[in-house]
């Protein structure tokens, strides 16, 4: 039997890579993990975690405004962007240290530097060669920016987490969750927002009612949403940037951010020369067991461009290691994956959209509830919530649940458990609600709207 330096070598210490390395180490497997940037990957450093902290920061202005309706007198308040960045950086540093300690305690060896593959069993990091029986690639994704005149002036979500100064105005390009979230965050912090999207609606892939509702709410809040709009060029002026749109008009702004997608981080790894296949979007092709065309090389997480969510990468890493070293069967259920968009108002969703359900089943019942949250009856804030449930009539099984409103992500997590357990509409109807809450709407929906 061939002898290797390691049983398993993981490239990429993001969420999926760290979970893979730690789980394998728990089986007594000799593991190394290489990372060239920062422990925790996108989620911890330039994604989920700092984004959520920014979301919290952006909500306080509205909380202060709402306080008067409940008898509070709130004095003059000011916001310090540098303080937020400093506190955020401290928290991220704390999390990085935790990840490092957990990897070391598990027995995994951390190797710092950019890795590439020499052959099917050899990884090179900074001119040092390491052999391994198996190699897992978990290098994630990276923001992509189109090649337009003035491209050098464009920022991505990566840079937004380290701004020295908050701009007075910004043009954000994109219609996905990152664009919607940053538009909401910066708007809540007092920035003048123009959101440009080439499509006719925001949030492609989400339920149509959710897309319409959120688009209207964002516009109502004062975000300038320009749909069917492309940016052709960016020109640097003395004290601002001029953004030229497809119709020839121009917008002057302090900053331009693009959130037009992410590319699998597969370049520079030496994959093509080894026969590891990539698709048209540079994602690594894998089979149901996360194995590439080279039997000793595996890939998971965003670099495979399946479902690009941190919990999915975590689940994939766990399933892979349990199969390889724990002699366990199992798979990731990609059909019932709850997800959230932390725009304002929040989105929480799990299961099929109405359009997907109608394409899959011939007999669909749709339930909807649109209401004013109890808090807003006194807050003076004119914001509604929307809930939607999709049911297969013949089986009574709930196959989709969607919500826009305060705490939607927290509520949908529980709904996802029910759907995973196969809950029917009758089960929801017979469940006693927690009163008074928004969540109880999901167990009191009685009227079919479509």
CA separation for the pair 241, 239 (Å, rounded): 7
The token pair at 63 is: 């909380």
Same domain, 354 and 391: yes
Do 24 and 125 lie in one domain? The reply is yes
Residue 318 pLDDT greater than 50, yes or no: yes
Percent of the chain at pLDDT above 90?
Answer: 95
pLDDT tens figures, 259-298: 999 999 999 999 989 999 999 999 999 999 999 999 999 9
Q: Per-residue pLDDT for 107 more than 70?
A: yes
Listed residues 211, 229, 260: the one ending a domain: 260
Phi-psi region of 130 (alpha: psi -120 to 50; beta: other; left: phi over 0): beta
User: Do residues 298 and 377 both lie within one domain?
Assistant: no
State residue 380's pLDDT score: 86
With respect to residue 355, please indicate whether it lies within any of the assigned structural domains.
Answer: yes
Q: What residue numbers bound the domain in which 276 lies?
A: 6-142+263-325
- Which uninterrupted H or E stretch holds 6? strand 6-11
**Taking a C-beta distance cutoff of 8 angstroms, is the pair 129, 122 a contact?**
yes
Rounded Cα gap, residues 367 and 392, in angstroms: 11
Q: pLDDT tens across 363-402, in order?
A: 999 999 999 999 999 998 889 999 999 999 999 999 999 9
Cβ neighbours for 384, distance < 8 A, ≥ 6 positions apart: 213, 217, 370, 371, 372, 373, 405
Confidence of residue 450 (pLDDT cuts 50, 70, 90): low
pLDDT, tens digit, for every residue of 232-260?
999 999 899 999 999 999 999 999 999 99
Query: What's the CATH code of the domain at 241?
Result: 3.50.50.60
Q: What is the pLDDT of residue 1?
A: 41
Residue 229 belongs to some domain of the structure = yes
44-48 mean pLDDT: 95
Domain shared by 170 and 228, yes or no: yes
Among residues 372, 423, 424, 412, the alpha carbon closest in space to that of 388 is found at: 412
Residue 285 lies in a domain: yes
Whether residue 133 is found in the same domain as residue 281:
yes
Residue 334 counted as domain residue: no
Across 190-197, average pLDDT: 98
Q: Is the distance from CB of 229 to CB of 144 less than 8 angstroms? A: no
Whether residue 158 is found in the same domain as residue 138: no
> Over the stretch 138-165, which tens digit does the pLDDT of each residue have?
999 999 999 999 999 999 999 999 999 9
Domain at 349, CATH number: 3.30.390.30
The whole-number pLDDT of residue 327 equals 85
Contact 101, 414 (CB under 8 A): no
Number of domains in the chain: 3
Both 97 and 219 in a single domain? Answer: no
d(CA 170, CA 214): 20
In a domain, 339, yes or no: no
Q: Look at residue 338 and tell me if it is in a domain.
A: no
Which position among 116, 153, 187, 435 bears the catalytic label? 435
Same domain, yes or no: 268 and 134 = yes
Strand partners, 115: 125
Query: Same domain for 26 and 138?
Result: yes
Comparing C-alpha atoms, which of 396, 338, 408 is closest to residue 369? 408
Same domain for 193 and 277, yes or no, is: no
Residue at a domain's end among 232, 260, 288? 260
333 found inside a domain: no
Domain co-membership, 203 together with 226? yes
How does pLDDT run across 319-340, given as a tens digit for each residue? 999 999 998 888 999 999 999 9
Which of 277, 293, 325 is the endpoint of a domain?
A: 325
In a domain, 450, yes or no: no
Given a cut of 80, whether residue 308 has pLDDT beyond it is yes
Q: What angle do CA 108, 111, 113 make, to 5 degrees?
A: 155
Report whether pLDDT(95) > 60: yes
| Residue 414, both tokens | 């529980």
Distance CA 144, CA 155 (A): 10
Is-catalytic flag, 435?
yes
Query: Residue 190: what pLDDT?
Result: 96
Residues 87 and 92: their CA atoms lie apart, in Å, by 9
Q: Does residue 60 surpass a pLDDT of 90?
A: yes
Condensed to tens digits (0 to 9), the pLDDT of residues 15-44 reads 999 999 999 999 999 999 999 999 999 999
Helix, coil or strand: residue 28: coil
Any residues with CB less than 8 A from the CB of 312 and at least 6 apart, and which?
301, 306, 332, 334, 337
Same domain assignment for residues 10 and 133: yes
């Amino acid at each position: 039997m061939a002898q290797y330096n390691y049983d398993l070598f993981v490239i990429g210490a993001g969420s999926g890579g760290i979970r893979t390395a730690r789980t394998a180490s728990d089986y007594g497997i000799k593991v190394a993990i290489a990372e060239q940037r920062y422990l925790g990957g996108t989620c911890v450093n330039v994604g989920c975690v700092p984004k959520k902290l920014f979301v919290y920061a952006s909500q306080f202005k509205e909380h202060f405004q709402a306080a008067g309706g409940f008898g509070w007198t709130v004095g003059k308040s000011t916001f310090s962007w540098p303080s937020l960045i400093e506190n955020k950086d401290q928290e991220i540093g704390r999390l990085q240290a935790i990840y490092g300690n957990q990897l070391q305690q598990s027995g995994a060896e951390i190797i710092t530097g950019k890795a590439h593959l020499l052959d099917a069993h050899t990884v090179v990091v900074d001119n040092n060669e390491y052999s391994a029986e198996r190699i897992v690639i978990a290098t994630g994704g990276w923001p992509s920016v189109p090649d337009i005149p003035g491209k050098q002036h464009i920022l991505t979500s990566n840079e937004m987490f380290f701004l020295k100064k908050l701009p007075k105005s910004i043009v954000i390009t994109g219609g996905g969750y990152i664009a919607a979230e940053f538009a909401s965050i910066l708007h809540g912090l007092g920035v003048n927002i123009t959101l440009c999207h080439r499509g006719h609606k925001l949030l492609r892939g989400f339920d149509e009612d959710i897309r319409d509702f959120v688009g209207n709410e964002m516009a109502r809040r004062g975000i300038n949403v320009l749909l069917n709009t492309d940016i052709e060029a960016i020109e640097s002026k003395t004290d601002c940037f001029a953004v030229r749109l497809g119709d020839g008009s121009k917008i002057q702004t302090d900053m331009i951010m693009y959130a037009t997608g992410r590319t699998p981080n597969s370049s520079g790894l030496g994959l093509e020369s080894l026969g590891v296949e990539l698709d048209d979007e540079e994602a690594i092709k894998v089979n149901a067991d996360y194995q590439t065309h080279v039997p000793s090389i595996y890939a998971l997480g965003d670099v495979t461009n399946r479902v690009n969510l941190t919990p999915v990468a975590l689940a994939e890493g766990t399933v892979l290691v349990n199969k390889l070293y724990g002699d366990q069967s199992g798979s990731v259920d990609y059909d019932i994956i709850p997800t959230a968009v932390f725009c304002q108002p929040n989105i929480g969703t799990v299961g099929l959209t109405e359009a997907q359900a109608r394409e899959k089943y011939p007999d669909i019942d749709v339930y909807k509830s649109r209401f004013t949250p109890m808090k807003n009856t006194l807050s003076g804030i004119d914001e509604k919530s929307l809930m939607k449930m999709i049911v297969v009539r013949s089986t009574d099984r709930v196959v989709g649940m969607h919500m826009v409103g305060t705490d939607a992500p927290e509520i949908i997590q529980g709904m996802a458990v029910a759907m995973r357990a196969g809950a029917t509409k009758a089960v929801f109807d017979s469940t006693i609600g927690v009163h008074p809450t928004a969540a109880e709407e999901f167990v009191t929906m009685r009227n079919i709207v479509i």
